[in-house]
Structure 1
Amino acid sequence: MRQLFFIQIIFLLFLTQLQAHEPLRKISVQLSWLHQFQFAGYYIAKEKGYFKEYGLDVHFKEMNNSVDLVQDVLTQKSTYAVGRSSIIIDRLNGEEIVALSAIFQHSPLVLLTLQEKHIKNVEDLKNKRVMLTTDAKNTVAIHAMTASKGLSLKDITFQPHTYKLVDLLNDKTDAMGSYLSNEPYILNSKNIPYNILNPQDYGFDFYDGILFTSKKELMLNPIDVHNFHEAVLKGWTYAFENIGETINIIYHKYNTQNKSLDALIYEAYTLKDLAEYEQGNLGNLSQSKIEEIGKIYSLLGFTKNETRFNLDNFIYDANLVIFTQKENDYIAHNEFIYYKQEFEPFYLGHHGIAADFWALIQNKTLLNAHSKTIRNNKNGRETIKKELNSVKLTLTQNDIHEKNVLFSEPIQSYKYAIATRNDEGFIFNTNILSGKSIVIRKNASINNLIKLQYPNINFIEVNSMKTGLQLVANGDAYGAIELLPVLIYHIKEEQFSNIKISGTTEFSQELRYMIHPDNHTLKTIIDKAITKISKDEIKTIEEKYFQVRYETSTDYTMVYKIGLPLTLFLCVVVFYNVRLRKEIQKRKIMEQKLYNAATIDKLTETFNRRKIDSKFKEKIELSSRYDRPFSIIFYDIDDFKKINDVHGHSLADTVLQDLSQLIKTNIRSTDYLGRWGGEEFLILLPETNLEEAKTMANHLKKLTENYQFKIGQQVTCSFGVTDFKDNDTQESMLKRVDELMYYVKRHGKNSVKAE
């Protein structure tokens, strides 16, 4: 027996040795600069063995003048590279590259000037010398920033970058392209005051530290790409969590620039902020932000004229599902039945929340399935038990005790909410409903539980929630309890304008797939796919059914009858000037788009904080100089956190959007509306005294409380109003109007306070 034990130990050691000697795949990473904390996550992934765990032997290559990041990756000279936002240009121009992640959510590239030069704004750069790299692609944010302020290339003397900060100190240039994480540290250490012109402050917010590879590498080695990406993010997480240890590793093993420990510490904390690590955004790449950056590149002429603007599939799908060979074989050699059951908005014929989630699962797994309809959930369970390769999406309680079927991991959890008429208040606790008539859906799985827990509620069972909500609307029932998506769908679909969501209960149900009890392979496949469904994918599906979409058609008959002959006539008239006009128009469009990018809040399409702040200063100066009336309105959405909690961020965002459009269309063309922050907004009213401003605020209050928002409930705002008084400053006006608005908040909300 003892001899057998030693034989087993020797055999296990032999297997371990075999695995240890299994060759690692050699790959290389081309860096965009010399070794420094800018690439700390990669060093940590190597030093801590994260790459090795995945069978990868990684070699880093520092930047030199002969390197072309994109071409090196495409020709497989390097497996991966770390680039800037300029790789978007290469993708737009047809290069087959894939962006895996952006380590830095904001570019550290800025213009640095000495305080003694008195260059505080972009406009101050006119007729000044600016030192930048000759690669315009990598400094496009700087060029966009200057162009947005009306400065042309002729207004600035651009100099080739010497990479010597001493040239700025010795007056050989007026402004120098610099990294926030490097040069400011040197000036701080020498106690030299400086100014920073950051493109981000002007609306040009670019990524940096973008890890990318070729499409070919992704197709040939998808598991390696997935694993390398995971190891890099793991490395960066460790680096930011353990900055001291990471700096010591760089200082002793990767310090080709001979940086001091203090310089590395400064760089580390600056880059941690730019990575938005604390906000949970490490590595994030947003399709909308990528497209905005791409448009700026196109506007400034960096893409080919014939380029069709398309950045689809540029961002790596980190939700790629990796299956074992056994699972892949199972998917390839089996057909499946997907059972569906009519239940709005989860099933709406061939559409609905459930149908869209199943389409996602199919896309991620390539399951070959056809669908069948069943009458109810009970029939579904019995059918699933009989058919091995069958699956059905179902709503379950959080604690699953069913033994005769398998359940997948949950896709999403939905609260049971309470709907009442608009004149009822917010319901904080289900006990408040005691003694009231509440509608519930007959045969809903929650019925026995809720009746047991709340015996003093008078429950009315109905066959459909549409019928139940009609009882609420008519006053025949106090309210209805149902899953939040179901309530929102019917309130909007049936246009119950006098019904709102007044609160949520402690009950919820989870969306899961029900699977044959013996089919563990199918359960594993579906579970893997569920873990890869992103928050954005869930948000897209839910927004689709939680909102009513109105579409209108346009009759173009008169356009063809009148517009076409007129257009032909005008073409003849302007024939000789058409080229010049096109160039002027192109420039105007470019300038307008750059202006919008720098001044408009993306979500609400109102002025952003920076722009409204600038206008505020301008109006105060005019009022003070010429003794003209000037007032402001400061308002905040009441109970917005509750709206977020009940409806989720996506629907809450529609409140901000709809309210902004409502206000914009009901103020004068001479007034200014801007988003001050979160759910707070500021309106500037030139040539307006306090009484007139108060009248305007009351008008906007009434419009808001009577508006039918997509969330199906009343929304109100608290308003503060003040006017410009002698010796007022921007700060004093803001302090006063803020106090007035919060006075309203503390005294019942949905009102106006003016002083």
Structure 2
Amino acid sequence: MTHHSFSRRGFLAAGAGSVLAATMGARPALAATDVALQLSWLPSVQFGGSYIAQSRGYWRDLGLNVALNPGGPNAPVEPPVVAGSALMGISAADYTAAAVAQGAPFRIIAVAMQKNPFAIASLPAKPVNVPKDLEGKKIGMALANTPVLKALCSLNDVDFDAIEIVPTQYDAAPLLAGQVDCLLCWETDLPVAMIIRGLKPITMLMADYGYAVQSQTYIATDDSIANRRADLIALLRGEIHGWNDYLADPAAAAALTVKMFPDAGLDLKTQELQAARQVPLMFSPVTEAHGFGWFTDDSIAANIKTLALLGQDVSPDLWDRSLLEEIHAS
């Protein structure tokens, strides 16, 4: 379950465009191919790199006309991808594993978030700095996330029975009211809401303690990988250029998001904070060495281990790095 089950300077525009043009070389004017990228939630800077790619024409220059289809509580990612109405979708390893177990022909072809964004948020008066601090605490969370908490405890020798789970909505209010000692949430949303209110929350990123479930993953079907490979590569290539621009100026990505979706009720300051907090989740020494979206054999093994604790038996065949290898080699 993602956080959205209830609620997520080097490159200037001209410079990035020049790099992209140099990467692609001269291209004749051709009719653009219509494709759709299925996003996993409603508009926010969580998808800032995609908005940049669209607004700066990166996909257009690669011969694609890309529709960015928003997700939401009534718009799951997997059905349009498996049906072919979206060429690629943004999901998470646990969702994809569950779909594959039911017969869906998916592969994870790139990984946007190098670290899972699940975190334990607390306040300085009663901090949770390490998993062991959870013992004796009341944690506010959705009951559906109980396997997530159990997995964290198993990975860190924490007594799960010493933690009191208090079912809550996805809101910081129970923590602020003292009804719970901490919250299970995403690093980029409820802590940001508390900061906006002038508080100084403490967040313990679960990925730093072994919880390795890839989030914001790019998925495609076996059929698309085999028969629409060129379009998939172009779609990923534009996405990569957009996220590289995002890294260069997260604040500009936040401003663009607010501008593109004036009716979405987005607050610029909140989007700026979210954009900044996303950077260490999405960019790492791995992406610096290999490129945006990369995943390693070690990260696959870590995911398989964590997914097993969630009751999902997954094989390395779920991942296909061949498209990224082709893109980053060029």
Distance 1:255 1:166 in 2: 27
AA aligned to 2:68 is: F
- The RMSD of aligned alpha carbons is 3.1
2:186 aligns with 179
Comparing 165-174 and 254-263, the one that deviates more: 254-263
1:250 aligns with 257
Question: Structure 1 residues 294 and 162, CA, compared in 2 at 3 Å: closer, same or farther?
Answer: same
Question: Structure 1 residues 70 and 155, CA, compared in 2 at 3 Å: closer, same or farther?
Answer: farther
CA offset digits 1:346-405 (Å, max 9, x no partner): xxxxxxxxxxxxxxxxxxxxxxxxxxxxxxxxxxxxxxxxxxxxxxxxxxxxxxxxxxxx
8 Å Cα contact 2:117/2:207 also seen in 1: no
8 Å Cα contact 2:283/2:292 also seen in 1: yes
2:112 to 82, 103, 115: 103
Distance 1:77 1:157 in 2: 44
Question: Structure 1 residues 252 and 156, CA, compared in 2 at 3 Å: closer, same or farther?
Answer: same
8 Å Cα contact 1:101/1:283 also seen in 2: yes
Q: Find the residue that maps to 2:322 and give its secondary structure.
A: coil
AA aligned to 1:197 is: M
1:285 equivalent to 2:285? Answer no
Aligned pairs for 1:413-424 within 5 A: none
1:50 aligns with 58
2:88 to 80, 86, 92: 80
Question: Structure 1 residues 205 and 319, CA, compared in 2 at 3 Å: closer, same or farther?
Answer: closer
2:320 to 315, 318, 322: 315
CA offset digits 1:308-333 (Å, max 9, x no partner): x52226223126769xxxxxxxxxxx
Aligned pairs for 1:230-309 within 5 A: 230-254=237-261, 257-276=264-283, 280=288, 281-303=291-313, 309=314
1:132 aligns with 141
AA aligned to 2:199 is: I
Distance 1:40 1:204 in 2: 25
Give the superposition deviation at 1:214: 1.3
Distance 2:264 2:123 in 1: 25
8 Å Cα contact 2:87/2:232 also seen in 1: no
Q: Could you tell me the TM-score, scaled by structure 1's length?
A: 0.36
Give the superposition deviation at 1:271: 1.4
1:204 equivalent to 2:211? Answer yes
Aligned pairs for 1:2-401 within 5 A: 19=29, 22=31, 24-87=32-95, 89-90=97-98, 93=101, 95-126=104-135, 128-136=137-145, 142-151=149-158, 154-254=161-261, 257-276=264-283, 280=288, 281-303=291-313, 309-312=314-317, 314-318=319-323
CA offset digits 1:188-226 (Å, max 9, x no partner): 333324332321232334432211111122222111011
Q: Find the residue that maps to 1:312 and give its secondary structure.
A: helix
Higher RCO (CA 8 Å, separation ≥ 6 residues): 2
Q: Find the residue that maps to 1:318 and give its secondary structure.
A: helix
Give the superposition deviation at 1:170: 1.9
Distance 1:186 1:84 in 2: 24
Distance 1:160 1:25 in 2: 47
AA aligned to 2:80 is: D
Aligned pairs for 1:378-457 within 5 A: none
Q: Find the residue that maps to 1:115 and give its secondary structure.
A: coil
Distance 1:320 1:105 in 2: 17
Q: Find the residue that maps to 1:58 and give its secondary structure.
A: strand
Give the superposition deviation at 1:42: 0.7
Question: Structure 1 residues 276 and 140, CA, compared in 2 at 3 Å: closer, same or farther?
Answer: farther
Distance 2:177 2:242 in 1: 40
Give the superposition deviation at 1:66: 2.7
Distance 1:55 1:256 in 2: 30
Q: Find the residue that maps to 2:125 and give its secondary structure.
A: helix
8 Å Cα contact 2:43/2:264 also seen in 1: yes
Distance 2:58 2:169 in 1: 38
Distance 2:325 2:131 in 1: 44
Distance 1:173 1:32 in 2: 29
Distance 1:290 1:183 in 2: 28
CA offset digits 1:282-312 (Å, max 9, x no partner): 2111122112211221234233xxxxx5222
AA aligned to 2:319 is: F
8 Å Cα contact 2:171/2:190 also seen in 1: no
2:25 aligns with none
Give the superposition deviation at 1:85: 2.9
8 Å Cα contact 1:29/1:59 also seen in 2: yes
Question: Structure 1 residues 101 and 135, CA, compared in 2 at 3 Å: closer, same or farther?
Answer: farther
8 Å Cα contact 1:28/1:58 also seen in 2: yes
8 Å Cα contact 1:108/1:179 also seen in 2: yes
Comparing 199-208 and 95-104, the one that deviates more: 199-208
Distance 1:33 1:294 in 2: 25
8 Å Cα contact 1:114/1:194 also seen in 2: yes
Distance 2:277 2:77 in 1: 25
Distance 1:291 1:121 in 2: 23
8 Å Cα contact 2:172/2:194 also seen in 1: no
Give the superposition deviation at 1:159: 4.4
Aligned pairs for 1:501-516 within 5 A: none
AA aligned to 2:175 is: L
Question: Structure 1 residues 318 and 200, CA, compared in 2 at 3 Å: closer, same or farther?
Answer: same
**Identical-residue share of aligned pairs (%):** 17
Q: Could you tell me the TM-score, scaled by structure 2's length?
A: 0.78
Q: Find the residue that maps to 1:86 and give its secondary structure.
A: helix
8 Å Cα contact 2:106/2:318 also seen in 1: no
CA offset digits 1:418-463 (Å, max 9, x no partner): xxxxxxxxxxxxxxxxxxxxxxxxxxxxxxxxxxxxxxxxxxxxxx
CA offset digits 1:527-561 (Å, max 9, x no partner): xxxx949xxxxxxxxxxxxxxxxxxxxxxxxxxxx
Question: Structure 1 residues 256 and 125, CA, compared in 2 at 3 Å: closer, same or farther?
Answer: farther
Give the superposition deviation at 1:232: 0.5
Give the superposition deviation at 1:264: 2.0
| The structure with more radius of gyration | 1
Consecutive unaligned residues in structure 1, runs of 5 or more: 1-17, 304-308, 323-530, 534-755
Distance 1:128 1:289 in 2: 31
CA offset digits 1:237-257 (Å, max 9, x no partner): 122223343222111113555
Distance 1:28 1:87 in 2: 20
Number of residues paired by the alignment? 299
CA offset digits 1:466-503 (Å, max 9, x no partner): xxxxxxxxxxxxxxxxxxxxxxxxxxxxxxxxxxxxxx
Give the superposition deviation at 1:77: 4.3
Q: Find the residue that maps to 1:171 and give its secondary structure.
A: coil
Distance 2:167 2:263 in 1: 24
